[in-house]
Amino acid sequence: MIPIRDTAPCHSRPLVTWGLMAVCTIIFVSMKLMPDELSYRLINLYGMVPMRYTNPYFGLPFDGYLSFLTSLFLHGTWMHLIMNMWFLWIFGDNVEDRMGRLPFLVFYLICGLLATFLQWFFDPNLAIPVVGASGAIAGVLAAYFFLYPLERVVIWVPIFFLPIVIHVPAITFLGLWVMFQLYSATTAMIFEGTVVDVAWWAHLGGFVAGGVLYRMFLRKGSAEKNELL
């Protein structure tokens, strides 16, 4: 299921959402234009490599946990970038509208940091970089889940490449998204040797963080009748 758009109205320009998308895109394109060796080195330095913090003899210098933040602005592939920015584009504007620009930015970064920490906690011996805005965006999805549960998400269901478009409540679409993340994370944990190339625990950690924290960042008097308590 690929979301196309949502039906929730937005009453302000989502400048922070656009800014985050621009920063991630500029960094990604810049790194693609670099020599592969330099790009690889930067990914390892600024991506969150769990083994760096678990084993002091791993080989990467201790950076004061800076990569927990910088990894949120790095992406591995074009598809990785496009999907993250697409979800942020659809759901971020409404959450920013309800929070305000600076609170939304702080909320986004906190969710991302907590998501990356949870990924490190559950996979501390991983020796490859964890990168991407997915954990922070998962926090945004959680806020949207509670703020706009009955708004419609227009999704494309790619069955035999037919243009099948349906409208589903946000609570249904995002609920299915969470269940898929949980299934994937627990499968990777239970079945040893499973190839994992997605930070499932970061997704879940970001969603949980967003669900717990979002009310602290809302504008006063921004409650709506369809909001989940």
pLDDT at residue number 159: 76
- Model pTM score: 0.90
Within the chain, which residues score under 50 in pLDDT?
193-196
Q: Please report, for the chain, the start and end positions of each structural domain, with discontinuous segments joined by +.
A: 2-217
150-166 burial string, b = 16+ CB within 10 Å, else e?
A: ebbbbbeeeeeeeeeee
Nearest CA among 142, 145, 79, 144 for reference residue 112: 142
pLDDT at residue number 42: 94
Query: Which ranges constitute the DSSP H helices of the chain?
Result: 15-33, 36-46, 50-54, 67-70, 78-99, 101-122, 134-147, 170-190, 200-213
pLDDT at residue number 202: 86
C-alpha distances in angstroms, 56 versus 60, 69, 124, 125?
8, 20, 12, 12
- The DSSP symbol for 61 reads P
pLDDT at residue number 210: 96
Looking at domain 2-217, what is its CATH homologous superfamily?
Answer: Rhomboid-like (1.20.1540.10)
Tens digits of per-residue pLDDT, 44-71?
A: 999 999 999 998 888 888 888 999 999 9
Strand partners of residue 3: 155
Which residue, chain included where needed, has tokens 């979301």?
A: 3
pLDDT at residue number 195: 43
